Structure formats: C-alpha cells, structure tokens
Structure 1
Amino acid sequence: MHFLLHLIVIILAFISYEHEAIAQYVPPYTSIVVPITKHIDATKTLYSVQIMTAYVNSQYLRANFLIDIDAPFIWHDCILQWNIYPGSCPANTLCTSPVSCEEYQCTDVRTTFSYDEPSCPPVTNGSTLPGWGYCTCPVNVVDPVTESCTQALLNYDEFTVNTSNGRNVFSGLYGAYPNAACVSSSSFGSFPENVTGVMAFSSSPYALPAYLSQPLKKTLAICLPSNSSTPGVLFVGTGPYYLLPNPSNPPNPDVDVRSLLSYTPLLTHPNSFGYFIGVDSIVIKQKSINIPGNFSTKLSTLDPYTTLRTDVYTRVIQAFSIATIGFPRAPPVAPFGLCYTRTVLASGPDSKFSFPDIDFNLVDGDGMKWTVYAANSVKQVTEDVACLAFVDGGGTAEYAVVIGTYQFEDNFVVFDLENSSFGFSSSLLKEQTSCSNFNFTVTDGN
C-alpha cells in the first residue's frame, strides 16, 4: 500500500511538471510572414501575397492572393468535393470541402458578412454537388478590379505560412483553417498574371487574422514595395519587424521598425470591415485644407492613389500649385490633374524644385501628423512627365479621403486590431531602408 501511494505521488508530480513545462513554453516565433509582390500588369497597380494552399506529392501548392484590407472573407480558385481522398482531385487543382447551406457559417456569412454591393443578385440554396444530396452555400464576391459580382461557394479551407521572429524566416510552418469561398478559374481574367484569389485582411471574423491563435496577436503589419522586382513584407503578429539597411549604407545595423512608428486610433465605419483613421485637415506648406463633415479617412490596398472628394481635391491642387510656383509644368496626364516636366525630379532634393511635404493632420488631440514626402506624393508617369499622385473622386464620393497604395509604398503600417490603433512610419527611405529590405532567407530556428 505504501509503495502504491508513493507511486501515485511520483506520477502526479510528473504530470504537474509536464503541465508546468507546457505552460512555460515560449515558441521561437512572434509572427507569421509572407512576401508581397507589386503587380503592374492589370488595369491598376495591385499587390499580392503568396500562400501555401495544399500538400500534394510531398510538396506544397502555392497561390498568389490580392491583399484586400476591406474584404469580408477570402475567396480563390478552387473546386469543392464532398469526399476528398488521395487521387480524387484533378492534377494541379486545389480541392476543398464545402460548407452546407444548413450550417450556421452559411447564414452568418450571407446575412452579416457578405459583400456590400447593390449589383449582386440574391443567392439561393439550389446548388448541389454530384453524388450527394446536400445543398452547398453560394455567396457573392466582388471583383476588386472590375467591381463586377461573381457567385462563389463557401468552403472549409486550409492555408500554411512561414513563421518568423521578425528578423528571420523559420522553416517551421503555421496552419490556419478559415472558411473561404471557391470560384472558377475563369473569374480571374481581370487579375494580374498568376494571381488567383483575394486574401481578406480586414476586421471581419472571416478574414485571415481572425483565424490565427496564440501566441500570435491580431496585429497586421504591411510594407508595400515600390517596385515589382523585389518583394515587400507582411507580418501578422506583434513584432519585432526588422529591415536591413540599404546596400549603400552598410555600416548601419538592421532596424526594428517599431521604433519608427507613431500611432493613432483606428475608427470603425458602418457597413464596412475596413480600416479608418481620423484626418481633420491636409496641410501643404502651412496652407491648411480642412476636411468638412465626417473626419473618417479610409485606408485602401486596392485604390492605387489617394482619392479626394472634389471639394477637398480642388483645394489640395490649388495649395500644391501655389507651393510649386516656378516649377516647369506639363499638360495633365489622366487620372492626374497637376503635372510637371521630369526636369523637376531630375534636379534632385536639394534643388530649388524640391516638392513640399503633404501632412495629414490626425484627429487625436496631440497635433500628430502623417507626413507624405515627394517619393509618395509625386509619380513619374511618362519619360518626361511627373504628376501629383492624388486623384479626384467626384463630388458625391462616399469618403472625403481614401489613402491609396502609392502613398503606402516604402511606408511601414501596422493595424493593431487588439488595441484598435494604427501605426505608421512615413517614408522608410528617410531611414536608409525600404520595404524590400526584409531578409527572407529561411533558417532552422523554429
């Protein structure tokens, strides 16, 4: 009896030790990480991430997804099968399991988290898959290029990504299991080449960040590259986020970009899962253009340039024009309204033709501003012409200001969903680094 009690004590002590060891385990990664590619072969500039989608023949299939921080859920090129077994899926095709119309996710997505687009037709439960009597779950999705509506089928999906400590990419992988939607291959004719999906990074509970669990925090960090030949970087996790110095500045150590960030509250907007910040004015060389009415400014990864409602746009163009009196002008090139000869850019930052900064004054009571330098405000559009990269959104635009991707390039931005805050760096070029300076070499640290 004494021996039995002693044995029980030893077993309980061992179990307690194991539980304590598990509780104390801290994984070596702090985030997941994926490269960002800039695409210039569609009707507008777009950005994608590459995700591993299925493990076939001892290797992962990979697909490229457009980055959409407004989309309510993920959708991509795949087909549904009720019973997926080895060899049943066509070669080089991604097969997923369908969500039935009788499951709660179907009703939830349709009624609460569907795409808000008036042109989308109502969906029904009429479709079934061959060999099974269960109904599938049709949902509507909106093409971000053409804004046309397409029907998709809700599914159970699986995505795999690399982990990182913010400085290195680890060989260890992280799996996420979202509800996404399948569309046919023919639905991607307007997309950039080899891009076959939309990855939702919004605040929706059906966007990718909602499916990532501990130790990852729901913090999305995006650094869009300014060229299509070298990738930018996207993290989900609290950091650190290290970027290497530019090759021309080798003595400098790599930079944890968190030290460069300023923060302002993230705002919510009715009927949107996207991200908004408060901007009450735009300042150009001490000339302040107040934003009338609602101060909510939308942040977009699909609009290529900052779009201003006409009443705001007219005053911004006027202020920038006055601030650049004497700069050689060129006829406007659509969609821009104020252009210059390229000699202005060729003269360099220290010449009399240096463009003024543009400040977005933020509504946070502390006089905080997001400064847009010339690298993100003036774009070379032809060999001989450069233009102010802000566009007129029309007099009835829903938002007075939508900050577009040209203004995000080589800026590091963080969407902290847990603390409802937005972090921004302004141009990394001023810090002798860029969004293309993350080290994607894979190590065995995980």
Structure 2
Amino acid sequence: MGSFSTLFPQILFVIVVLSSCSANIHGQFITSKASRPKSLVLPLTKDPSTGQHITEIRQRTPLVPLKLTVDLGGRSLWVDCDRNYVSSTYRPARCRSALCNLANSRSCGDCFDGPKPGCNNDTCSLLPDNSVTKTSTSGELATDVVAVESTDGKNPGDTVTAPRLVFTCGSTFLLEGLANGVSGMAGLGRDPVGLPSQFASAFSFSRRFALCLGSSSKGVLFIGEGPYIFQPTGVDVSQNLHYTPLFINPVSTASSSFEGEKSVEYFVGVTAIKVSREAVPINPALLQIDSQGNGGTKISTVDGYTVMETSIYRAFTNAFTKAMAVYPGAPRLASVAPFEFCFDSTNLPVTRVGPPIPGVDIVFQDETVSWTLFGANLMVEVKKNVICLGVLDGGLNPRTSIVIGAHQFEDNLLEFDIARSRLGFSETLIYRQTTCSNFNFTSTASTTLQVV
C-alpha cells in the first residue's frame, strides 16, 4: 500500500472531479442557502387575438421554452404531453406516494399505451382544466425541471431551476380556445401544487405573488417577496397597497373536481358597488358564498371583462347610464357585441386614466377599503370614437355573482398574499406616472443557479 503522501494527489483529484460533477447538473449551478432567491419574475404578454395574458417558463431536460396562458385561479401548472414531450428528468408520481398526497389526488391507475410522459403504470392523476372553455380531463401527475429568473425587484437576475416541480399532463385537445402557440396553463391558485406555493417551497420564501397585467402588451408577474419597482420613476409599488381579506369558497369552482374539494380561486368580500359615490341596490345575499359554493365575488384572468349576475348587472348599468347623462358630449350609441352600453367619445377629452366618466368604487368587507376604477379600466374602445362599458351580463343564477375580469385590473398591481390570506391592490399605476409594461426586463444575471 502506498503512503498517504503518494495517494494524496490522487484523492485530491477525485474530490475535485466529484465536486465539479455535483456543482454542474445539466449545465446549472447549485446555490448555497445564502444565495437562494427572495423573488422570481416572469414576463407577461397580452395576446391581441384572445386577450389572454401569456407567460413563459423553461421546462424539461434539455430545457424547452413554453408559453402558457395565465390562470389566476388554476390549480396547478398543466402542459400538453401528447405532442413532443421529451425529457430525461420527467418523473411520474407513483400511486400512494407523498406527491400524490400533496396534490390531494383521488385517482390512481395504469396506462397501457406507455411508458411515456403522460402515460405510465401505477401513477396518480389530477384534472387539468381549460378554464377558458370550461373543459377538463384526467392527466398524469408528474415532476420535471423548471427554470425561471430571479429578481431583486428592479431587474431580472440569475436564472434558477426547481428540479422537481409538480405539474399535470394535459391532452392536446385541451389547448382549444387558448392563444396560438401556448402549451398549457400556468395555474396560480391557492393550492399546494399551485405555482406560487411550489416556488415558495422550492426556494424558501413567502407564499406571495403580485400580478401586474399590461393594458397594451407587456406585463409582469412577481412570485415571492417585494419590492415591485417600475420605471421610469423607480416607484416601489409594494409600499402603497390597500389590503382586504381573501376568502375560501368551500366548494370547488373548477370545471371538474374531486368530491369535497374546496375552490382554489381567489374570492374577495365585496359588500357594495358605488357609481359616482352612490350605492347600487344589490341583493346582499348574492354577495355571500352559500353552503353550495354559489355567490360571492372572485378575481379572474381568464375572464376578459367583469361579469355580473343579471339583477346586479341591471342595477349597476342603470346607475351608470344615469350618471353618464351628465356628460352631454357622450351620447349613447348602438350596442357592439359583446357590450350592451356604448357611447360616442368624439367630444370627450383624453386624460391619463382614460375617458372622464362616472367613477366606480368596489367596496370591500369592512367598508373602509374600496377600489376605485377609472375610465381606462371601465371602458373599452371598440373603434374610433366609440367606447363601451366593459361589463357583461352573467345571466340568472351563475355560479359566482361577480367575476372581476382582467380588463378591470390592467395596469393595477394586485398582490395575493396566500400566507396571510389577503389581497393588496395599488389602484391604477398611471397616477404614479408608470404602467405594468414598465418593469425593466434588462437582465443583470451573471450565472445560472439551481436549488436542490
């Protein structure tokens, strides 16, 4: 046997090689605990043909960029596994595993056309849901590598990867009704396998995210802690938010669900709606969630415009059109589908916050907090000099009485604090001389990191 002095260079060489291998997995670098990100940032783009807000992540090994329709109330990430899903790190969730329990899967079985991504024996499943078309099916639960960018709140920083992010395999037909080029939906719902909770667990930060939808094209999604800083003023929007509680609907509102599941969508306690500071007469029972999960108010990114139960819609639009009568330069015009109430804007002045129309206040639970909507978030320009009220009739007995749609909160930052069960909202950023399109996506990244 050789002496230690003889073996030491060989031992050192082995240590160096092993260290190098463990520190470089698929071209990614492992972070130390101190270098874990405090927040992530994802770009948002408004699709011009559908109005859907699209984000992008990278998934699989090797990494593939995926475009996804953002679903604020979606249970989890789901992607089409039927076409071209190739990855050396895809792992199906085995029946009775901790992963199946985490996702609260109630279905387990075999698939005889595999093995392949989306079809393996002895695996559990969830119900990937196209919430745009209200279509759902069964899909294999699995994990794979996902890469996103970290942020300091000002710029994107290092790319970080979560090596075992849970998602559900969807089928190609589920993509119908989604924007061209997307591969699935990014579910941000308040579920253990929702993207905000998963990233919080992977990187050990707060279960919180902030959504800022752009009215024209670009927007931004922060997952984790603030600040949320926008150019050109460098304003930190996280410092001036108003807060109201979030509520849990005891019955799932998804297109399909397992028996006994609660809704993972974001419900708020609206107590009144005011037009020009006058309360609209609304049956208060409709604003409550009953034992069957009906009623209440939720926030949605897949509904382009606010939708109201018929009696609420009629009361609100009556109050709004009466208030519009004080604007003689904006006579009512014929309806333009899907909008019922349209007006001639030829003689209305242009302001920073849209056409000068009656203000609308959404009053929350304790009546001391309200969210004011201005012309830019209430009216839709359907053609030159024609604007329409961007609120739709949801019919009698809808599942949810009021759905606050995406147009109503574009260029408003909404912070969903899952841990504290509260919503923070900024009101329009235009008054702060910025918009949701003004996050600086110029990267300051110097390396790529992986947390294991």
| TM-score category of the 2 structures, normalised to the smaller one | 0.7 to 0.9
Report what 1:378 is aligned to. 379
1:303 aligns with 2:292: no
Q: TM-score, normalised by structure 1?
A: 0.80
C-alpha displacement at 1:192, in angstroms? 0.6
Gaps of 5+ in 1: 1-23, 81-89, 113-122, 246-252
Could you tell me how far apart the structure 1 residues matched to 2:125 and 2:206 are? 31
3-state secondary structure, aligned to 1:436: helix
Q: Deviations over 1:148-180 (max 9, x none)?
A: 233322212221111111012113424263321
Contact residue 110 and residue 122 of structure 2 kept, 8 A? yes
Answer yes or no: is 1:31 the counterpart of 2:39.
Answer: yes
> Under a length normalisation based on structure 2, what TM-score does the superposition of the two structures give?
0.79
% same residue:
32
The answer to whether the Cα contact below 8 Å between 1:155 and 1:180 also exists between their aligned partners in 2 is: yes
Q: Within 5 Å, which residues of 2 pair with 1:144-293?
A: 144-175=131-162, 177-212=164-199, 213=201, 214-228=203-217, 231-245=218-232, 253-271=233-251, 272-291=263-282, 292-293=284-285
Task: Work out whether residues 379 and 387 of structure 1, in 8 Å CA contact, stay in contact via their aligned partners in 2.
Answer: yes
Asked if residue 329 in structure 1 is aligned to residue 312 in structure 2, the reply is no
When structure 1 is superposed on structure 2, of 414-423 and 376-385 the one drifting more is: 376-385
Quote the residue 1:369 is aligned against: 370
How has the CA–CA distance of structure 1 residues 100 and 29 changed in structure 2, closer, same or farther, with 3 Å as cutoff?
closer
For residues 432 and 138 of structure 1, the distance between their equivalents in structure 2, rounded to whole angstroms, comes to 47
Q: CA deviation at 1:97?
A: 2.0
State the superposition RMSD in angstroms: 2.6
Q: 1:264 to 1:227 in 2, by over 3 A?
A: same
Show CA shifts across 1:30-72 (max 9, x none).
Answer: 2000101111323xx211210011242xxx3110111112122
CA contact (8 A) 1:306 1:402 kept: yes
Summarize the Cα distance change of 1:237–1:335 in structure 2 as closer, same or farther, 3 Å threshold.
Answer: same
Q: Go from structure 1 to structure 2 and tell me whether the alpha carbon gap of 1:176 and 1:203 turns closer, same or farther (over 3 Å shift).
A: farther
Are 1:101 and 2:104 counterparts?
A: no
- The residue aligned with 2:48 is 40
Correspondence 1:127 to 2:111: yes
How far 1:263 moved relative to its partner?
A: 0.8
- In the aligned structure 1, how far is the partner of 2:280 from the partner of 2:99? 45
Secondary structure in 1 aligned to 2:311? helix
Could you say which residue in structure 2 is the equivalent of 1:356? Answer: 358
How far 1:419 sits from its partner (Å)? 1.2
Aligned AA (1:284):
V
**CA–CA distance in 1 between the matches of 2:147 and 2:93?**
20
Amino acid at match of 1:287: E
Shift of 1:275: 0.7
State the distance in 1 between where 2:115 and 2:382 align. 55
Q: Does the alignment pair 1:320 with 2:300?
A: no
1:134–1:401 distance in 2 versus 1, CA, 3 Å: closer
- Is the 2:60–2:144 contact (alpha carbons within 8 Å) kept by the matching residues of 1? no
Once the two structures are overlaid, the 10-residue window that deviates more, 196-205 or 173-182, is: 173-182
Answer with 321-330 or 432-441: which moved more: 321-330
Q: Distance in 2 between matches of 1:362 and 1:109?
A: 32
Instruction: Give structure 2 stretches of 5+ with no counterpart.
Output: 1-31, 252-262, 289-295, 448-452
Question: Secondary structure of 1:279's partner?
Answer: coil
Alignment match, 2:444: 443
Q: Counterpart of 1:313 in structure 2: which amino acid? A: Y
Q: CA deviation at 1:93?
A: 4.0
State the alpha-carbon separation in 2 of the partners of residues 412 and 244 from structure 1: 14
Query: How many Å separate the matches in 2 of 1:368 and 1:194?
Result: 40
Counterpart position of 2:423: 422
Q: How many residues align?
A: 385
Q: In structure 2, what is the Cα distance between the partners aligned to 1:28 and 1:147?
A: 38
> 1:390-432 CA deviation, whole Å, 9 max, x = no partner?
1111111122211100011100000011111100011111111
Q: Is the 8 A contact 1:264 1:362 kept in 2?
A: yes
